[in-house]
Chain A
């Protein structure tokens, strides 16, 4: 990772050519199936690119191995619900204040425990005092918290049964999602950084599972598995466009079907928003990488001992970069939930979120921001298209057997699982034969 690449003309052309190839793939999808599908691919690809950028900041700049990306993505999604959904006044009246009081109590107990740990002399007295405080605090918290939750969840459970959000415009939720993810990253980083690198990996794996369990179970906050649907949108609704005289007139003037055109317009609007965010993040990431701070990060990554000997605070810098990277992932998670228009906690799967993003970073080229963007777009394309391609391959291979032969149908059923295998094989091949990725770090 540390050796520099020669700046030959081919290596300078490589990036633009690869990006052109991905653009061509998406255009081909548009031409062969539909523009709607192509734009969906592009939108999720752009979000994936931002996620990959966040992970690249952690892994590529600092060599931190985060296996909890799914959790940070989900926290971003939570940010959308908490920011953009309208508040539920009945639920707030029923138990809102009490929930806040309970959470404040929990925070106070933990803060006191930390204070005791720092102030009291080492010994058995300290351990007992902290244990007693935490146990009492836990029961006190539950005593305040449980009735409030029951009251909130009893308020019209079929439609709300939760506190709702702040009712702010949905675009505000993107930074909020980033902040939530940053908070979680701070807590994890404080615990697991500075220890062995596997510990960070396992700790992040744990926090991501807990975040998902929380989203599924804390109905007062997220409605749990009942899902929050109908999240506000930053772009117009298709149906409003179809009813707008002006829009229909414009579309008829260029000879387009207003229904299809409205769907495409909405997707284009999303794409524009996403490109703006991607641009800002990419610009910031590049600026940081080329700054003295970025050089220090890479120096720490390449030789921690030497950097420490030069007086660099390795743990502090790692904490910084871990928080920044997680915040970027959180922003992308909020954008994804906004695009979906709903928060469905049961759809968060580690293979789909955490590990797919890893493949994006490694295939794209770890340490290279443009590589992460390329990886995000390309791997998302492959992830979506492997299934139809696999299906097509199988029908081509088994065409001699006939459509209702048992082997044909057995294979067709299993196409869905080829995705995992293809992604795993891609990852292994890249790591083995081209560990620097498509666009190597320079």
Chain B
């Protein structure tokens, strides 16, 4: 019985908690990708760099607050800086849309053209971020490090296995829930949100019923900027901030969006958690868990790890391929432009 509890705690500690936090970050990122796809109808390769930009501003404002002695108790100061990061990112994406993307909308360029344009935008944003903060690793989380620390948990329960919950993980999940709830309320209940969904479903019909496309696009960019900044900041708080790791989560984010169905917000969330759990389950070494659950004779010799952690891309990719082969429109039947 105790063995079973120990195994359960080990699973919670090494699989469930990290995967939930990572899934929340991916889901927020994938929501941004999927919204751009639904409304603007292209795959935005610059999304990861928008995230990196937002995070960079948050880091700057956090440092400023810290130097003024402002802190947020046990929560990371970065949460206080988040609104400023969002504002800066909104300004950035609206500016980018005005200078770059709008022209291609006017000439009704093919989606693939916009995709290439977004790569150019990614280059420029990446350059800007690197120029401001360089490429080194930065950690910017402060406040209490753990909500439940390993030692307290062991003392309280008397188990061999420890459970720890980092503040950043709890903050990630709570923030993600709030942001997603607000987003769905906005999309389903407000006039602008409804017009966005109408525009995404059928552009011509939406235009005929008097929806102003430029307004819809502007609102979309504002939402995407907020989502990207929140996702980037949470990811950076949980791990650390490095400009090029953000480019690397582009693939899991796209995979999440496609698994759920491109253009479907609910699908993006399901996809994000699917990818995160799969990545961690496939790369987790089950030796410890097996040690508690299995009898002596069946103990694995190795780490009982399906794939080395460096192949986590391969997991999101494999899921992507399976979905493409068997359900090209994703689980929630996204659009096929």
Chain A residues in the interface with B (C-beta under 8 A): 63, 65, 67, 138, 146, 191-192, 195-199, 201-203, 205-207, 209-210, 213, 216-217, 349-351, 355, 358, 362, 413-414, 417-425, 427-428, 431-432, 435
Question: Across the interface, do B324 and A420 meet the contact criterion of CB distance under 8 Å?
Answer: no
**A206-B324 CB under 8 A given contacts A201-B115, A427-B123, A428-B121:** no
Give the distance to chain A from B7, nearest Cβ to Cβ, in Å.
21
Question: Across the interface, do A414 and B131 meet the contact criterion of CB distance under 8 Å?
Answer: yes
CA distance A178 to B113 in the complex (A): 28
CA distance A427 to B127 in the complex (A): 14
Give the distance to chain B from A388, nearest Cβ to Cβ, in Å.
17
| Apart from A202-B320, A432-B103, 5 more pairs, CB < 8 Å | A67-B119, A203-B320, A206-B251, A210-B317, A217-B308
CA distance A217 to B328 in the complex (A): 31
Q: Which of B121, B248, B328 contacts A195 (CB 8 A)?
A: B328
Using Cβ atoms and an 8 Å threshold, which residues of chain A touch B103?
432
Question: Across the interface, do A428 and B120 meet the contact criterion of CB distance under 8 Å?
Answer: yes
Question: Across the interface, do A420 and B130 meet the contact criterion of CB distance under 8 Å?
Answer: yes
Does B25 sit within 8 A of A, measured CB to CB? no
Using Cβ atoms and an 8 Å threshold, which residues of chain A touch B126?
351, 420, 424
Q: Which of A192, A217, A428 contacts B124 (CB 8 A)?
A: A428
**A-B contact list, 28 entries, CB within 8 Å:** A63-B112, A195-B328, A196-B262, A196-B337, A198-B43, A202-B43, A203-B320, A205-B254, A206-B255, A209-B248, A209-B251, A210-B311, A351-B126, A355-B119, A362-B116, A414-B130, A414-B134, A417-B127, A419-B127, A420-B124, A421-B123, A421-B128, A421-B131, A424-B120, A424-B125, A424-B127, A428-B124, A431-B113
Question: Across the interface, do A206 and B317 meet the contact criterion of CB distance under 8 Å?
Answer: yes
Question: Across the interface, do B123 and A213 meet the contact criterion of CB distance under 8 Å?
Answer: no
Does B186 sit within 8 A of A, measured CB to CB? no
Using Cβ atoms and an 8 Å threshold, which residues of chain A touch B302?
146
**A210-B123 CB under 8 A given contacts A199-B324, A428-B100:** no
Question: Across the interface, do B311 and A417 meet the contact criterion of CB distance under 8 Å?
Answer: no
Does B310 sit within 8 A of A, measured CB to CB? yes
Question: Across the interface, do A210 and B254 meet the contact criterion of CB distance under 8 Å?
Answer: no
A413, closest chain B residue (CB): B134
Does B314 sit within 8 A of A, measured CB to CB? yes
Question: Across the interface, do A201 and B325 meet the contact criterion of CB distance under 8 Å?
Answer: no
CA distance A414 to B133 in the complex (A): 9
Q: Which of A191, A192, A216, A427 contacts B119 (CB 8 A)?
A: A427
Give the distance to chain B from A396, nearest Cβ to Cβ, in Å.
19
Does B40 sit within 8 A of A, measured CB to CB? no
Does B247 sit within 8 A of A, measured CB to CB? yes
**A206-B313 CB under 8 A given contacts A201-B43, A350-B247, A420-B130:** yes
A217, closest chain B residue (CB): B310
Question: Across the interface, do B320 and A206 meet the contact criterion of CB distance under 8 Å?
Answer: yes
B132, closest chain A residue (CB): A414
CA distance A203 to B319 in the complex (A): 11
Give the distance to chain A from B275, nearest Cβ to Cβ, in Å.
12
Interface residues in B, total, Cβ within 8 A: 50
Using Cβ atoms and an 8 Å threshold, which residues of chain B touch A197?
111-112, 115
Using Cβ atoms and an 8 Å threshold, which residues of chain B touch A213?
310-311, 313-314
Using Cβ atoms and an 8 Å threshold, which residues of chain B touch A199?
258, 324, 328
Give the distance to chain B from A315, nearest Cβ to Cβ, in Å.
13
Question: Across the interface, do A65 and B254 meet the contact criterion of CB distance under 8 Å?
Answer: no
Of A203, A349, A362, A425, chain B has the most CB atoms within 10 Å of the CB of A203
Question: Across the interface, do B328 and A198 meet the contact criterion of CB distance under 8 Å?
Answer: no
Give the distance to chain B from A104, nearest Cβ to Cβ, in Å.
21
Question: Across the interface, do A192 and B324 meet the contact criterion of CB distance under 8 Å?
Answer: yes
Give the distance to chain B from A89, nearest Cβ to Cβ, in Å.
27
Question: Across the interface, do B251 and A428 meet the contact criterion of CB distance under 8 Å?
Answer: no
Question: Across the interface, do A351 and B317 meet the contact criterion of CB distance under 8 Å?
Answer: no
Give the distance to chain B from A196, nearest Cβ to Cβ, in Å.
6
Using Cβ atoms and an 8 Å threshold, which residues of chain A touch B314?
210, 213
**A431-B254 CB under 8 A given contacts A207-B317, A213-B311, A417-B127:** no
Segment 288-337 of B: residues with Cβ below 8 Å from A = 302, 306, 308, 310-311, 313-314, 316-317, 320-321, 324-325, 328, 336-337
Give the distance to chain A from B170, nearest Cβ to Cβ, in Å.
30
**A424-B111 CB under 8 A given contacts A203-B324, A206-B313, A206-B320:** no
CA distance A196 to B336 in the complex (A): 7
CA distance A427 to B115 in the complex (A): 12
Using Cβ atoms and an 8 Å threshold, which residues of chain B touch A425?
120, 124
9 pairs of A and B residues whose beta carbons are closest in the complex: A424-B123, A421-B127, A420-B127, A424-B124, A427-B120, A206-B317, A417-B130, A428-B120, A198-B43
Bitwise interface map of B from 200 to 213 toward A, beta carbon under 8 Å scored 1, else 0: 00000000000000
Does B250 sit within 8 A of A, measured CB to CB? yes
Using Cβ atoms and an 8 Å threshold, which residues of chain B touch A417?
127, 130-131
Give the distance to chain A from B48, nearest Cβ to Cβ, in Å.
11
Of A202, A217, A358, chain B has the most CB atoms within 10 Å of the CB of A202
A190, closest chain B residue (CB): B325
A421, closest chain B residue (CB): B127
Using Cβ atoms and an 8 Å threshold, which residues of chain B touch A431?
113, 116-117, 120
Give the distance to chain A from B332, nearest Cβ to Cβ, in Å.
16
Give the distance to chain A from B52, nearest Cβ to Cβ, in Å.
12
Of A197, A362, A422, chain B has the most CB atoms within 10 Å of the CB of A197
Q: Which of A191, A350, A428 contacts B325 (CB 8 A)?
A: A191
